[in-house]
Chain A
Amino acid sequence: MRKFSFQLILFVFFVGCLSLFINTKNTVAFGLQPRCIESIVEDGTIHLDNAFDKMEYFTSNYTWDSFSYKGHVYINKQPGQFFIGAIPYFFLQLFGITYKSDFNLCCGVVTFFTSVIMTAVMMILLFNIAFNILRNKAKSFLIACFSGFGTLLLPYSGILQHDMCATFFLLLGFYFLFYRYHINNKHPIYMVLLSGFFTGFSFFSSYNAVTIISLICLYVFCKRKTNETILFAVSLFIGISTVLLFNFLVFGNPFSFAIVMYSNFFHQSNEFSISEYLPSILKRVDLYLLSPITAIEFYSPIYIVSYFGILFLPKKYLIEKIILLLAFPIQFFQPCLFGVAGYGWCQYGPRYLLESIPFVMIGLCGYYTKEKKPTVFILFVGMVSIVISAVGTIGVVYCNFYENGFVDYLLRIILNDNLPVYYFVPVGISIILISFLLFFLKKRNPFIKKVTFKQCFSLTGITFFVLIAIYFWFLSYGTWNLFQITYLGTIFDSLGEGILNGTYEVSKFALAWEAFEVNGKYYAYWGPFPALLRIIFNSILKTNYGHWANLSCLIAISLSLYAYLKSLKLALDLNNELSPVWKERIICTALIFLGLGSPFLF
């Protein structure tokens, strides 16, 4: 139970960090996805009838990835991602928030509740596996961080994407087996059943899952437990049957996959040909391993380092070692990749390797089980990978085939050229702060082995965060977007520049009528502190210049309420006539009254 509580905090932290990278560019990267989610929820269909007429508000032009069948337009993708995305969207549209009315908000929230949550869960699962092997929280945390933030999982967590969904279910399938064999074997049947189902269900999301599915089957088979193997096979079939059922209901044949229908529509051959496939291997070696424009080591060097680490895993994990070692080559050689090159299309890094990433990253544990640990080397490679992956969050659809995506994006950052808006930053920061709060709550009281619901969500805590949410709403003028142009909103940004060049001058345009004009120079009325904050904000995200006022106010409000809370608590601690329950009630009431029932709200 103690482990669970620590992982809960980690999960909140990972979710916070990942949501920082949700941005406006990725929301339009795969334009047909939102349309399909919209169709499922609003029309109750999977096809995109009149899609091309309705698509005006989707800026993406990914329309070639669709085909017509019996007068309806369908997308050439496995349907899992759409159904997963439909869950949060169903609740959103109940509140009147739709793709049509708030496209960015919808995409952001759907991404948050799908890809971000799935990636954070994957990181926690990897943490658990690493902890089981190493028995060390710090190292396991580091491995989870490198896996989530130092690989392609980070850029692709900013978008609802089929390979990400498949990767999640595959890892879930593997984890249940690992849990059963190494962590806790109390409920072997349930674990095997769950593993089988999720492994099979991954095929509902992506064709690329096939190879790793076969690998997980091999894992069960190698354990030589006949009953469990049979159970696994049954549940695997149930998982796979979801897509077969879908095909049957939509296309009239369980084996009429969308890709088959697509090929038929465009009269393409979909038969596997060894004579075509073999020569493509060389091209594939070049694209995945050698070319500085596309090879995996240029997008996630930690992946390669980690792959060799699998060799150093303890002997106890011999079967896992074999399975994990196979993950990369089997994904690399898989014949299910389509086209001769088999490298995908516009993408940041080799996306087709996504399914293998969490499996390969377990290999990092191998380095930490050795006596001589290459800690500095791994840290360095890990940090470099994190930087490359973070830069990649600018856009997962990268269509320049003549330049390395990281280099290109880096140049764009330096030149401040066409960068997206990371509009989930306030949400991410808030979640990270909550994770810190939970961490300190847990740490402060050594007798508490687990952060209980009551502690996390005490009356005071709930009151405080609800108030912040209300202020968030008011500050965004009901739009939930803090980054808006405000009245004289660039003054502090301009003053920040004035502070940096030592003159304290502010542009006349920014100041408008609020200027001190001395000897032809313009100065601001206010003290320089908010401008110092602007220097930090603008150095992080220059594209948001002039849009920081609301965020700055929200931080000031949160801190003010916190200071009031602390002072009130201190005052009430001096009062021995009141019971703790009454003190908490008074604190909450006073906090609400100050927050909503005083001129502080204005």
Chain B
Amino acid sequence: MGQVYHESNLWGFCFGMFGIYYFMSYYFNGKTNALLFLSLVSGLALITRVTFFISTGFLFLICIIKYLKENVLNKEISKPKCLARTFLILIPLLLAMLLQGDYNYKRFGSYTKFADYNHYNLIVNEEFRRDIYYKYGFLSFARLGYTIKSYFAFNKNCFDSKYPYVRQSINRTENTKNVLIYDTLPFSISAPWLLLIVILGLFFLIKSKKLLLYKIGTVGFLIQFLSFLLLFEVHQRYFLDLMIGMIYLSFIFFINIRKSFNKVFWRLVFICILVLGIFSMFTNVLSTLDGVRFFWKS
């Protein structure tokens, strides 16, 4: 809510969402203009929050390869014209790369270095954070179990008998020395409806024989997803980075509603989504009200 951390995440999420929309516009409806916008939002994602660029940039890469393949190999338009158009499409992304490169260079003396934790105040000044970072690294597979538990597993500590009844809480684990865990409201409590839709979406995507590029597109989201599961910190605000890929998969669910299975199955699914959705609304609104209350107290 209105913090510098959230602002950056929200804008990154925003460009990620637009990235998905323009990807779908190009992929499903063949709109070439969407490529230009995809390039623009990828560039904006890059200069906002680089983790969102992993997914949007990957989607853009897929689209531009598809565009070149269709137009150059199939010789639908002349090569120079096609290359000129491709360059035009690339301009917004290139400009963003230039700005981000300059930003990185002025800060750390390298065009590709987005952060240098050796100079980061919190790493330099806080011993426990420094220990985790230097001992176990920025990303580590050893954390996977703890992070998954924090982000996804049901945590009864999130519920309370006092107002506002639901609040973010740390999911205690036996050994969390290699990761810094802050209070979270795991997906199983904050958005179980989304989890159900994602599972069904994933099922339909695997089952589908047509959506090859959409399947490839998941790789970008998977990298973004994994990077946060392996990170040395667990925060509630990182949920948006995890959620973007889940939303991407959920659209496959919406495309396939009622296309297979019988009516009884879909009725059951709708009822489940509705119940879980209403539950999610309660948990999210109540836990956010806790934040509003905290603001007034402070």
Contacts and interface: CB of A to CB of B under 8 A. Distances in A.
B47 A528 contact: yes
Interface in A478-522: 478, 484, 486-489, 491-492, 503-504, 511, 513-518
Interface string B27-60: 0110000000000000010111110000000000
B229 interface: no
A552 B7 contact: yes
B280 A567 contact: no
Contact of B257 (A475, A527, A586, A589): A586
A515 B106 CA distance: 15
Q: Which 5 A-B pairs have the closest CB atoms?
A: A597-B280, A599-B239, A563-B17, A556-B10, A577-B258
A564 B247 contact: yes
Given A504-B106, A549-B3, A597-B278, A529 B257 contact: no
B119 to A, nearest CB: 5
Interface stretch (A360-368, A433-441, A458-466, A568-576): A568-576
Interface in B3-36: 3-4, 6-8, 10-14, 17-18, 20-21, 24-25, 28-29
A602 B185 CA distance: 10
Contacts of A503: 106
B128 interface: no
Interface string B257-298: 111000000000000011001111101110110011001100
B108 interface: yes
A602 B4 contact: no
A331 interface: no
Contacts of A577: 257-259
B127 interface: no
Contact of B191 (A527, A557, A572, A597): A597
B254 interface: yes
A575 B256 contact: yes
Given A529-B44, A553-B10, A570-B25, A513 B3 contact: no
A535 B257 CA distance: 45
A218 interface: no
A474 B252 CA distance: 31
B125 A513 contact: yes
B256 A601 contact: no
Contacts, number: 212
B236 interface: yes
Interface in B87-137: 99-100, 103, 106-108, 115-116, 119-122, 124-125
Contacts of B257: 572, 575, 577-578, 586
B62 interface: no
Contacts of B185: 599, 602
A89 interface: no
Given A513-B122, A560-B13, A602 B236 contact: yes
A592 interface: yes
Q: Determine which residue in B1, B120, B187, B256 has the highest number of CB atoms from chain A within 10 A of its CB, and name it.
A: B1
B1 A556 contact: no
A319 to B, nearest CB: 56
Interface in B149-171: none
Contacts of B100: 527-528
Contacts of A594: 194, 247
Given A570-B29, A586-B254, A526 B8 contact: yes
A24 interface: no
B229 to A, nearest CB: 15
B251 interface: yes
Contacts of A131: none
Interface residues of B, number: 76
Contact of B6 (A517, A553, A572): A553
A593 B280 contact: yes
A556 B7 contact: yes
Contacts of A550: 1-2
Q: How large is the interface on A (under 10, 10 to 19, 20 to 34, 35 or more residues)?
A: 35 or more
B146 interface: no
B292 A477 contact: yes
Given A523-B107, A527-B49, A597-B283, 4 more contacts: A486-B4, A523-B106, A527-B100, A602-B185
A526 B120 CA distance: 12
B224 interface: no
Contact of A559 (B14, B116, B125, B258): B14
Contacts of A596: 280-281, 284-285
B68 interface: no
Contacts of A590: 254
A431 B216 CA distance: 42
Given A489-B4, A527-B50, A556-B7, A563 B243 contact: no
Interface string A579-602: 000000010011011101111111
Contact of A597 (B3, B193, B251): B193
Contacts of B12: 527
Contacts of A486: 2-4
B17 to A, nearest CB: 4
A292 interface: no
Contacts of A526: 4, 8, 48-49
B240 interface: yes
B274 A598 contact: no
B243 A589 contact: no
A525 interface: yes
Nearest to A517: B119
A305 B167 CA distance: 64
A487 B12 CA distance: 19
Contacts of B24: 567, 570-571
B48 A527 contact: yes
8 contacts: A516-B108, A553-B7, A571-B24, A571-B252, A592-B281, A598-B191, A598-B284, A602-B291
Contacts of A530: 7-8, 11, 48
B212 interface: no
A566 interface: yes
Given A475-B1, A527-B100, A602-B288, A560 B119 contact: no
B255 interface: yes
A156 to B, nearest CB: 34
B184 to A, nearest CB: 9
B240 A492 contact: no
A324 to B, nearest CB: 51
Contacts of B287: 602
Nearest to B2: A550
A353 B134 CA distance: 75
Given A477-B1, A487-B3, A599 B121 contact: no
A567 B27 CA distance: 12
B190 interface: yes
B66 interface: no
B7 A514 contact: no
A600 B243 contact: yes
Contacts of B240: 599-600
A511 B255 CA distance: 45
Q: Determine which residue in B50, B191, B243, B252 has the highest number of CB atoms from chain A within 10 A of its CB, and name it.
A: B191
B215 interface: no
Contacts of A553: 1-2, 6-7, 10
A549 B10 CA distance: 11
Contacts of A598: 190-191, 194, 243, 280, 284
A259 B277 CA distance: 63
